Structure 1
Amino acid sequence: MTSPSLIPVGDNPTRLWGMTNAERVRRIGVAQGYAADGGSVVLANMGYAFDPVWTAHLKSRPGTAVTRGGVPVLIHLAAGERAAGEAAMRAGTVPAGCAVIEAEDEAGILNEALRKRERPFAEPLTPATVPAIERLSYKGAYKGVTDLLTKYLWPEWAFHLTRAAAAIGLPPNGVTAIGTVLCIVATVAFWHGWFWTGLATGLVFMVLDTVDGKLARCTITSSKLGNAWDHGIDLVHPPIWWWAWATGCAAYGRALSDEAFWWVIGTMLFGYVAQRLIEGAFIVRFGMHIHVWEKFDSDFRLVTARRNPNMVILFAGLLVGRPDWGIVAVAAWTAASLVVHLWRLFQATAAKRRGAAVVSWLA
């Protein structure tokens, strides 16, 4: 099936995340693989700003319109119906025979990529509505299932940093580069037992680790390089941090015994790799992340032994002057989280063998 073309209808000089609406739609089309000259067309009303989820959703649904307050925001039509569709869109009407999806419908749609059910935005774009739309755009880029710090502590900080980066034209890879330097600085600080310095530097890095992805999604500037760089850093640095922290306990004056040190390092490395493999196996076998299977899994993702929850444990240990207790607790929690993930994989496998449907509770 030939991919459709994404065609802007009308004009709107109002800028969103530093872009005109036409440029934003062009970037969406490129990112989502729309054709320059497709077999059908998706018409985009430039009087409105919309979540890219809508164009991804509409791409495979010809004869469908997305409306806001009855006004067409997006319409997918056959190529020969383009002129009539544009006329209808300019008149604020839906062409006859089109199925209609109301953007304000509370039911929303499932965004599997971000692991959440949502109601994507579609709003009139004027200078007065830009702040609200940018906030909606930023919120739409957030994963629905994530850890407690990303979900509750710094969304507002990251939002303002994302707006500032877009305003000065700093690309997502620029944010990732700054974060990479801070990640290395935090590692060195942990290694030397400068735990408060490392935590403060690490906190800024963790916030920027949120900002680069949100900036890429909001400005539609994701790239293969940026994605590989960001995810590569995310994948590699946590066990290095834990090793550096365990080593730094000696410089801090709370050295682990040799036996305890290697028990901690071995448990964390094995647990970290094994959990990643379990998550990958779950995706391959069931076509979804383990964290979106049932509500328990989404709730457990808030605190499972990933970097951010582990940093909370280390912070708590440092508060009482026992960074050694903190790293031992991280190792213990890593082992406990591994058991939970392994058990959930076994449960899902058993359910599928019984003939039960293994689907996301968010679907």
Structure 2
Amino acid sequence: MTETISTALGPIRMLGQNTTPIWGMANAERNRRMVESAAKNGSVLAAGHELVFNLTYAFDPLLLRLVLETPGTVFALGGVPVVGQVPQGHDPMQATVIDLSDGRKLYNRQLRKLEQPMVRELTPATRRAIERHSYFGAYKGVTDVLTKYLWPELALVLTRIAAQLKMTPNMVSVIGVTLCLIATFLFAEGMYWTGFLCGFIFMVLDTVDGKLARCTITSSKWGNVIDHGVDLVHPPFWWYFWGTGLAAWGLSLTGQAFILVMAAVVVGYVLQRLIEGAFLKDFGMDIHVWRPFDSQFRLVTARRNPNMVILFVSLLVGRPDIGLVALAWWTVISLVVHAVRLAQAYGVKRSGRPIVSWMDEAAA
């Protein structure tokens, strides 16, 4: 069975049929959402071309992005076409075929990782495994230690529940933002353990909303603004009000010490993000994917999640004041590391050598 439908991107041809749902929707609907999302992001089809999808298979959205960049290309598995962009009405296997059955790895710049893209036959027996694979496939390869190792399994369960309940990513984000604000208030009152619980749930939901958006192909402009905007803005407020909440424990910092600590955590945080932005602007990639060292340092650099580990340990020993001071020092150290790496990158550029991600090199 073959069906051709019109979309905002252009014509797409669906091969076969498949009634097995994935993330609460039909495979045809998942493919259609990927196409609509690509159109919103500015992708176009080559003149006289169409997209071809084989509904027997579920695949990583990376493959669609790649075929949109290279007209006349088809990704296949064991000689069977999976997804491609071909001249309208042409046999997909007459195009430039890239067979993924050889286990090759591709670099996903959007998620900053090098891996073999998922392509699997979608059946009732494989559905949950495919959902699990697509969920972990939506994870950034370069991120902090908690997001990468601590709560992926918990977030998977919550993402599945949200998908079954037909919740949108924005709904999850709103719940998370509410908990973020509550945590800020609790920190200011010195209610650190309760605030930590709210903050922990918020941090997990901060993963869930993004994974839900990627797995169900329901990303939106405003959803990204809310998600990334809150992520960018709230950490300094947490650290500031953690400092004011020390009074409730009888552990207030002296006036001068408080100013120095706040200068370190707030100014250091802002400068570190500016350095990351400068690297992205001047070299076209995230600073944390330049060399393997940068990717490893991203696990622990002074962002919200690693900083919360420092504060958690300080709570365990009953000294939240020492935790805040340690956080300030770690922010300064992380800032120095990033500043040095930016300076080194400019030095490489001045020498005439290209700045290339180690992941691009590995994929070549």
TM-score range, shorter chain: over 0.9
| TM-superposed deviation, 1:269 | 1.0
Which of 289, 301, 305 is 2:298 aligned to? 301
68, 77, 85: which one aligns with 1:59: 68
Q: 1:89 maps to what in 2?
A: none
Distance 1:10 1:106 in 2: 25
The farther-off stretch of 136-145 and 38-47 is 38-47
Contact kept? 1:3, 1:38, Cα under 8 Å: no
**1:1-16 equivalent positions in 2, closer than 5 A:** 5-16=11-22
Identity of aligned residues (%): 55
User: Do residues 147 (structure 1) and 156 (structure 2) align?
Assistant: no
Offset of 1:154 from its aligned partner? Answer: 0.2
Deviation at 1:103, TM superposition (A): 2.3
Question: 2-side partners of 1:232 and 1:196: how far apart?
Answer: 25
Q: Which amino acid aligns with 2:131?
A: E
Task: Verify: 1:29 aligned to 2:35, yes or no.
Answer: yes
Q: 2:181 aligns with which of 159, 181, 184?
A: 184
**Could you tell me how far apart the structure 2 residues matched to 1:62 and 1:178 are?**
42
Q: AA paired with 1:59?
A: L
Q: What's the CA shift string for 1:122-148, capped at 9, x where partnerless?
A: 111111110010011101100000000
Corresponding letter in the other structure for 2:346: T
User: One-letter code of the match for 1:210?
Assistant: T
Partners of 2:45 and 2:277 in 1: CA distance: 35
Structure 2 SS opposite 1:276: helix
Partner Cα separation in structure 2 for residue 174 and residue 42 of structure 1: 32
**TM-score for the superposition, normalised by structure 2:** 0.93
Structure 1 match to 2:318: 321
Q: Are 1:116 and 1:362, in contact at CA under 8 Å, matched by a contact in 2?
A: yes
User: Which residue in 2 is equivalent to 1:269?
Assistant: 266
For 2:330 and 2:188, how far apart are their aligned partners in 1? 22
Alpha-carbon separation, structure 1, partners of 2:359 and 2:318: 42
Structure 1 residue 342: Cα displacement: 0.2
The question of whether the paired residues in 2 share the 8 Å contact of 1:254 and 1:324 is answered with yes
TM-score, structure 1 as length reference: 0.93
2:4 alignment counterpart = none
Aligned twin of 1:244: 241
Q: Residues 46 and 71 of structure 2 are in contact (CA less than 8 Å); yes or no, is this contact kept in structure 1?
A: no
**Aligned residues of 1:5 and 1:35 also touching (Cα < 8 A):** no
| Aligned amino acid, residue 40 of structure 1 | H
Question: How much has 1:9 moved relative to structure 2?
Answer: 2.0
CA distance in 1, matches of 2:101, 2:248: 58
In structure 2, what is the Cα distance between the partners aligned to 1:229 and 1:147? Answer: 20
Give the RMSD, CA atoms, in angstroms: 1.6
Secondary structure at the counterpart of residue 190 of structure 2: coil
Hey, what's the Cα distance between the residues in 1 that align with 2:69 and 2:45? Answer: 16
What is the SS of the residue equivalent to 1:288? coil
Distance 1:213 1:38, change over 3 A: farther
Give the distance between the partners of 1:102 and 1:344, measured in 2 at CA: 38
User: Pairwise mapping of residues 36-185 of structure 1 onto structure 2 (< 5 A)?
Assistant: 39-79=48-88, 82=89, 84-85=90-91, 95-96=93-94, 98-185=95-182
Residue-by-residue CA offset, 1:42-88 (whole Å, 9 max, x unaligned): 20001111111101001122222211122111132112xx2x42xxx
Task: Name the structure 1 match of 2:212.
Answer: 215
Q: Distance in 1 between matches of 2:325 and 2:354?
A: 39
Deviation at 1:35, TM superposition (A): 5.9
- 3-state SS, counterpart of residue 127 of structure 1: coil
Q: What's the offset of the Cα at 1:223?
A: 0.1
**Aligned partners of 1:237 and 1:346: how far apart in 2?**
28
| Partner amino acid, structure 2, of 1:341 | H
1:194 is matched by which residue type in structure 2? M
Structure 1's 239 and 76: CA in aligned 2 closer, same or farther, altered over 3 A? same
Paired residues of 1:47 and 1:124 also in contact (CA < 8 A): yes
Q: What is the DSSP-based 3-state SS (H/G/I as helix, E as strand, rest coil) of the residue aligned with 2:334?
A: helix
CA distance in 1: counterparts of 2:48 and 2:37, whole angstroms:
18
Q: Distance in 1 between matches of 2:317 and 2:229?
A: 33
Asked if structure 2 preserves the Cα contact closer than 8 Å seen for 1:162 and 1:214, the reply is yes
CA shift at 1:37, angstroms? 10
2:260 corresponds to 1:258: no
Specify whether residues 276 and 9 from structure 1 end up closer, same or farther in structure 2 by C-alpha distance, changes over 3 A only: same
> How many residues are matched?
350
Q: 1:343 aligns with which of 333, 337, 340?
A: 340
| Equivalent AA in structure 2 for residue 60 of structure 1 | E
In 2, the alpha carbon distance for the partners of 1:186 and 1:348 equals 38
The question of whether the paired residues in 1 share the 8 Å contact of 2:155 and 2:207 is answered with: yes
Range with greater deviation from structure 2 (112-121 or 170-179): 112-121
Contact 1:148/1:302 (8 A) holds in 2: yes
Alpha-carbon distance change, 120 to 5 in structure 1, aligned in 2, over 3 angstroms: farther
Find the residue that maps to 1:139 and give its secondary structure: helix
- Paired residues of 1:104 and 1:119 also in contact (CA < 8 A): no
